[in-house]
């Protein structure tokens, strides 16, 4: 029986007025709405599908401020059993993974699912760091999960590049990072969201957890500035016959090299 924890992240749909925080450890912004990170949503769908096949439970967990509650409610509306929120907003992937692991260790589990990356920072590190800190097997860019041939295992299909896939058996407990575009995501009607609005969500403050109690004199990183990319040149539309276009293109490539 699976006891699955799904790590989810609330990401902004659209932001305005981005600026560096006073501590230079985050980017503050105005966001009209927050949504569940895309690849995390696929991980959630896969967890619910596995629960139907193999039984067990699903717990959704997120590190985020109160606005992240909406993402956890989405998980509960998609038939997750429990929800946990760590009240903090971080860009530091190492610290985020540490906080998640601290909370995961206080929850019964034998499978952790994450997305391959978050849409806002695109660091692709949290899932791998969780596996390292838990010291359990992991698989990345997973596209399919099935019950294993032996008890206590899962059969996992993952992308390995160049359009190729690999199928492997992985022993539980394990961490799997789900690729976008696996199990189609389901729509949650407003009525169901309202039904789960008052379901309990377990909350930790950052300082409740071991990672949050460790103060570092030299932070892992700092944010110096946030700005749009500079516009240097405009695209040039090359016109003429096919021979002329080819000749001009070749000349420009040669000049650039």
Residue 37 falls inside a structural domain: yes
For residue 216, the model assigns a pLDDT of 64
Task: Identify the H or E element spanning 94.
Answer: helix 93-104
Structural domain contains residue 203: yes
Q: How many other CB atoms are there within 10 angstroms of residue 228's CB atom?
A: 6
Q: Is residue 38 part of a domain?
A: yes
Asked if residue 94 lies in contact with residue 119, where contact means CB atoms within 8 angstroms, the answer is no
**CATH number for the domain harbouring residue 15:** 3.40.50.620
State the residue for tokens 């957890």.
209
Say yes or no to pLDDT of 257 above 90.
no
Q: Show the domain range for 199.
A: 2-213
Angstrom distance (rounded) from CA 128 to CA 7: 12
136 lies in a domain? yes
Report yes or no on 149 lying in a domain: yes
Residues 127-178: pLDDT tens digits? 999 999 999 999 999 999 999 999 999 999 999 888 889 999 999 999 999 9
Rounded to an integer, what distance in angstroms lies between the CA atom of residue 203 and that of residue 13? 24
When mean pLDDT is compared over 11-20, 64-73, 134-143, 248-257, the highest value belongs to 134-143
CA distances from 105 to 5, 82, 109, 134, 225 (A): 11, 15, 8, 8, 36
Please enumerate in sequence order all residues whose Cβ is within 8 A of that of 137, keeping only pairs 6 or more positions apart, or say none: 131, 170, 171, 174, 175
**Mind listing the pLDDT tens digit for each residue in 19-57?**
888 877 777 777 778 889 999 999 999 999 999 999 999
User: Could you tell me if residue 175 is inside a domain?
Assistant: yes
DSSP H helices, 183-241, are 190-195
Contact 75, 8 (CB under 8 A): yes
Q: Are 134 and 112 a contacting pair, CB within 8 Å?
A: yes
> Does the global pTM surpass 0.85?
no
Q: What's the domain count of the chain? A: 1
What confidence tens digit (pLDDT) does each residue in 108-121 have? 999 999 999 988 77
């Amino acid at each position: 029986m699976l006891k699955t924890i799904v790590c989810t992240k609330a990401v902004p749909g659209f932001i305005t007025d981005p600026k560096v925080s006073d501590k230079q450890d985050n980017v503050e912004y105005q966001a009209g709405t927050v949504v569940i990170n895309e690849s995390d949503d696929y991980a959630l769908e896969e967890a619910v599908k596995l629960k139907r096949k193999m039984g067990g439970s699903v717990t959704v967990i997120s590190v985020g401020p109160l606005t992240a509650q909406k993402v956890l409610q989405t998980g509960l509306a998609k038939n997750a059993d429990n929800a946990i929120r760590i009240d903090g907003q971080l860009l530091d992937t190492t610290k985020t993974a540490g906080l998640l692991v601290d909370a995961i260790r206080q929850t019964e589990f034998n499978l952790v699912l994450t997305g391959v990356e978050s849409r806002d920072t695109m660091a692709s590190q949290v899932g791998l760091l969780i596996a390292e800190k838990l010291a359990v097997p992991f698989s990345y860019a997973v596209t399919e999960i099935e019950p294993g041939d032996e008890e206590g295992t899962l059969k996992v299909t993952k992308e390995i590049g160049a359009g190729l896939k690999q199928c492997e058996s992985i022993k539980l407990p394990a961490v799997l990072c789900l690729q976008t575009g696996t199990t189609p995501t389901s729509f949650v009607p407003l009525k169901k969201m309202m039904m789960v609005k008052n379901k309990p969500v377990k909350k930790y403050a950052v300082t409740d957890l071991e990672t949050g109690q460790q103060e570092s004199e030299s932070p892992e990183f700092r944010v110096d500035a946030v700005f749009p990319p500079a516009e240097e040149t405009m695209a040039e539309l090359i016109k003429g016959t096919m021979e002329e276009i080819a000749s001009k293109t070749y000349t420009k490539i040669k000049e650039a090299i």
